[in-house]
Amino acid sequence: MDPNGLPESAMSPRTPPALSRRRLLQAAGAAAAGSALALPAFAQTRAISITLPWVVNGSNYWPMVGKELGYFKKRGIDLTVSRGNGSVAAAQAVANKQFDLGVVFFGGTLVNMARGLPLQALATIGYDSLMGNLVLADSPIRSPKDFEGKRVGTVATSAESPYWTAFAEKTGIDLSKVTRQQLDARLIERALMDKQVDAITAIGSSSIPVLDSLGVKTRFIPWAKSGIELYAAQVIARTETINADPGLCQAMVDGILESVVYTLKKPDESLEILYKAQPEIALAKGGKENARLSQGLAQATMVAPEAIEHGMGYSSIPKLAGMISLAARAGALKADAKPLVPEDLATNRFVGKIKLGNAEWDAIRKNVAPYSRMVSGA
């Protein structure tokens, strides 16, 4: 075998007489066609299910785009996409075999793996979960110390809530001078809009579109600037699936990443696919604007050194180690949590085949620039 997996006979400089020129050209054409993203040789179409982290929106709908465009069908997969009920619950559903795979925010995978659930990320899609504080556009809160004497609303079970104290510690906020109000997840944006609180903790790609679609202008204060940063959406599977069925995992990762790239290059066309698949989004008041914003904000987190330098889906193992430490310090992991090894959290086995060129990344940066500014804290 050569390094590319070809038998030694295929490397011979001489062609056996029985092998015609036509057959050589056919073989060469087949090899070239499969060189970019080899498709699995499934004997028959397989029914596969995947759960999203939450309701279908512009920040997570790429599997639906790929399904509509035939990216999974051509790989022998009949894909069913379901909404989730939060990343922690979605990851648990994958671990409990309710779904074959999941699109889950890293924080949800981390918490569940610390509980001993056998999961691993196959690919990272977003590289910043956009944890932070959201204030009204005219709010006097400009610097961390401005939170003192103010009311900050939070949902205790939300992904970002445990990291509020870590942000306060990093930036010198005296939490004894801050009134923390526990709010219902369904009411937290309304509480800010009605000025029941001065600020909320939030995932930017979720809360900003909700308020903007209602005509409420906000300002985002990102925690990532202070080192409080987690990866966002990842494709996850059970470790037994990864070990027993790597062909399926490869096909799913390839299909999802191909879908993600399509949405990055053709955001408007992608949203039309979403509206066709989920017509209630287009019919709801502010639905299209919400989808456009959530897509743009999520895409802004995809422009990262990991994807640019190593290919779509790549995870930085050293960064994962820092995220584990951050979660432990923030109290997001229980004291009796299972020790976590960064290499166990994610694998790069199935990624790196799709790489975009400099011109492609420049075009994507231009498209997402307005959304990047929305979460820059400027």
Residues 196-220: b if buried by 16+ CB within 10 A, e if exposed: ebbbbbbbbbbbbbbbbbeebebbb
Report whether 191 contacts 200 (CB < 8 A).
yes
CATH number for the domain harbouring residue 180: 3.40.190.10
> Domain for residue 364, yes or no?
yes
Which of 173, 196, 226 represents a domain boundary (last residue)? 226
240 and 105 fall within a common domain:
yes
> Domain for residue 16, yes or no?
no
Distance, CA of 104 to CA of 54 (rounded, Å) = 9
SS3 81: strand
The token duo for 229 is 């940063």
Domain count, the chain: 2
Note the pLDDT of residue 43: 59
Note the pLDDT of residue 6: 31
> Domain for residue 4, yes or no?
no
122 and 181 fall within a common domain:
no
Task: For Cα atoms 244, 249, 251, give the angle at the middle one, nearest 5 degrees.
Answer: 130
> Domain for residue 272, yes or no?
yes
125 and 149 fall within a common domain:
no
168 and 308 fall within a common domain:
no
> Domain for residue 31, yes or no?
no
Q: What is the pTM of this model?
A: 0.84
> Domain for residue 18, yes or no?
no
Note the pLDDT of residue 37: 53
102 and 124 fall within a common domain:
yes
Cα 146 from chain centroid?
32
List 180's β-bridge partners, or say none.
152
- What is the domain range of residue 177? 131-226
Distance, CA of 209 to CA of 296 (rounded, Å) = 10
Going by C-beta distance under 8 Å and a sequence separation of 6 or more, which residues neighbour residue 341?
Answer: none
Which of 226, 243, 274 represents a domain boundary (last residue)? 226
198 and 242 fall within a common domain:
no
Note the pLDDT of residue 347: 97
244 and 335 fall within a common domain:
yes
359 and 242 fall within a common domain:
yes
Note the pLDDT of residue 334: 79
181 and 250 fall within a common domain:
no
Tens-digit pLDDT string for the chain (378 aa) = 333 333 333 333 333 333 333 333 344 433 333 334 555 546 578 999 999 998 889 999 999 999 999 999 999 999 999 998 888 889 999 999 999 999 999 988 898 899 999 999 999 999 999 999 999 999 999 999 999 999 999 988 788 888 999 999 999 999 999 999 999 988 999 999 999 999 999 999 989 999 998 899 999 999 999 999 999 999 999 999 999 999 999 999 999 999 999 999 999 999 999 999 999 999 998 899 999 999 999 999 999 999 999 999 999 999 999 999 999 888 888 777 788 899 999 999 999 999 999 999 999 999 999 999 999 987
Alpha-helix residue ranges (DSSP H) falling in the chain: 21-33, 62-69, 87-95, 106-114, 164-171, 188-193, 204-212, 239-244, 246-265, 267-277, 279-283, 287-300, 305-310, 317-330, 342-345, 358-374
3-state secondary structure 129-182: CCEEEEEECCCCCCCHHHHCCCEEEECCCCCCHHHHHHHHHHHCCCHHHCEEEE
120 and 235 fall within a common domain:
yes
Note the pLDDT of residue 303: 98
Distance, CA of 248 to CA of 89 (rounded, Å) = 23
Q: What is the DSSP pairing of strand 179-182 with strand 151-154?
A: parallel
> Domain for residue 321, yes or no?
yes
73 and 201 fall within a common domain:
no
> Domain for residue 40, yes or no?
no
Which of 182, 200, 226 represents a domain boundary (last residue)? 226
268 and 306 fall within a common domain:
yes
Report whether 201 contacts 286 (CB < 8 A).
no
